[in-house]
């Protein structure tokens, strides 16, 4: 068995990009850990667990994840304007990459991680915290000597089809056409596809725990509200596969080889 750590930018990212994979890995006996760079808050954090971290812990429980860690940074937000740091911590995008990587590497060593899940070089759709996850994740893997790194992504053509479906259903999703053409990864560059349709119910349940995002006013909120209400078979058809790009050569006798089969 291999210890798997998924490094994400914000609470709820763990479901959307890797939820089925984490549920499947846990069900197959691997120890699974989630680390989030930020707690998803723009302002100073209240004492104790923040609301979004509490939602993340509920999501992790639904997926079968054994441990959740906040790396200690604040959300950097969207848009051209980068707000000042809150008084209690730095925004993740302003964090020194080496320092943040050392924080993550310490957890990788503590957990004896054999597989790190991170983000592609675009950070998916280009959010600055997601790009930083890619940079910090790669460096932390080097520092800790993690033998295998897979970077979560989506095929660009699948993103384009999803946008068309959203238009047909008249879901009020805001998006930039140029981003759709350039974000994520060309299908030919994707190295691994994970079938997670059997874990659709767990993935949908985990998504539903992020109530602040589902019921909020964020740009993905209308889509999330639809996803948590569709029947599980439909959810599985929509979100039943997850994609990764191999960041380095796979270990030949890797215990998770059956889970992460190369894309044909």
Mean pLDDT computed over 133-139: 98
CA distances from 28 to 24, 83, 183, 244, 257 (A): 6, 42, 32, 19, 12
> What is the DSSP-derived secondary structure letter of residue 185?
B
Each residue of 89-100: pLDDT tens digit?
999 999 999 999
d(CA 19, CA 186): 22
Q: Given this model, what pLDDT does residue 252 score?
A: 43
Residue 98 lies in a domain: yes
Q: Where are the alpha helices (DSSP H) in 82-229?
A: 97-110, 123-126, 128-144, 156-168, 177-182, 200-208, 211-214, 221-227
Q: Check residue 240 and give its pLDDT.
A: 95
Give the CATH number, domain containing residue 218: 3.40.50.10320
Q: What is the mean pLDDT of the chain?
A: 89
Residues 6+ apart with CB under 8 A from 56: 11, 12, 14, 34, 36, 68, 210
pLDDT, tens only, 223-256: 899 999 999 999 999 999 999 999 964 444 355 6
Q: Which residue has the higher pLDDT, 54 or 171?
A: 54
**Residues paired with residue 195 on neighbouring β-strands, in sequence order:** 241
Q: How far apart are CA 22 and CA 145, in angstroms?
A: 22
Count: domains in the chain: 1
Print the domain residue range for 231.
Answer: 4-246
Rounded-to-integer distance, Cα 79 and Cα 214, Å: 21
pLDDT at position 253: 38
* Averaged pLDDT, 201-227: 92
Answer whether residue 264 is part of any domain: no
CA distance 149 to 178: 28
| pLDDT at res. 125 | 80
Other C-beta atoms lying within 10 Å of the C-beta of residue 261:
12
Q: Tell whether 253 is covered by a domain.
A: no
Is it the case that residue 113 has pLDDT exceeding 50? yes
Asked if the structure places residue 254 within a domain, the reply is no
**Residue 257 belongs to some domain of the structure:** no
Q: Which tokens belong to 88?
A: 């209690």
Residue 221 lies in a domain: yes
Task: Classify residue 251: in a domain, yes or no.
Answer: no
- 22 Cα distance to chain centroid: 10
| Averaged pLDDT, 135-160 | 93
Q: What is the pLDDT of residues 65-76, one digit of tens each?
A: 999 999 999 999
| 3-state SS record for 51-86 | HHHHHHHHHHHHHCCCEEEEEEEECCCCCCCCCCCC
Q: What is the pTM of this model?
A: 0.90
């Amino acid at each position: 068995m291999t210890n798997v750590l998924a490094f994400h930018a914000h609470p709820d990212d763990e479901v959307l990009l890797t939820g089925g994979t984490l549920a499947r890995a846990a069900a197959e006996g691997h120890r699974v850990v989630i680390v989030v760079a930020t707690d998803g808050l723009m302002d100073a954090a209240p004492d104790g667990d923040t609301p979004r971290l509490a939602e993340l812990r509920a999501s992790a429980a639904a997926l079968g994840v054994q441990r959740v860690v906040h790396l200690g940074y604040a959300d950097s937000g969207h848009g051209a304007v980068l707000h000042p740091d809150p008084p209690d911590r730095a925004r993740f995008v302003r964090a020194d990459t080496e320092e943040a990587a050392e924080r993550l590497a310490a957890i990788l060593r503590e957990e004896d991680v054999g597989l790190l899940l991170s983000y592609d070089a675009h950070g998916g759709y280009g959010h600055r915290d997601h790009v930083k996850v890619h940079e910090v994740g790669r460096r932390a893997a080097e520092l800790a000597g993690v033998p295998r790194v897979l970077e979560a992504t989506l095929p660009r053509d699948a993103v384009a089809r999803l946008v068309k479906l959203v238009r047909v259903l008249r879901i009020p999703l805001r998006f930039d056409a140029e981003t759709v053409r350039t974000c994520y990864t060309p299908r030919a560059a994707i190295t691994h596809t994970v079938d997670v349709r059997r874990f659709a119910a767990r993935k949908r349940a985990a998504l539903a725990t992020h109530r602040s995002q589902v019921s909020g006013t964020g740009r993905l909120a209308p889509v999330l509200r639809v996803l948590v209400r569709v029947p599980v078979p439909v959810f599985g058809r929509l979100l039943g596969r997850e994609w990764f790009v191999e960041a380095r050569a796979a270990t030949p006798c890797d215990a998770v080889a059956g889970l992460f089969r190369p894309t044909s």
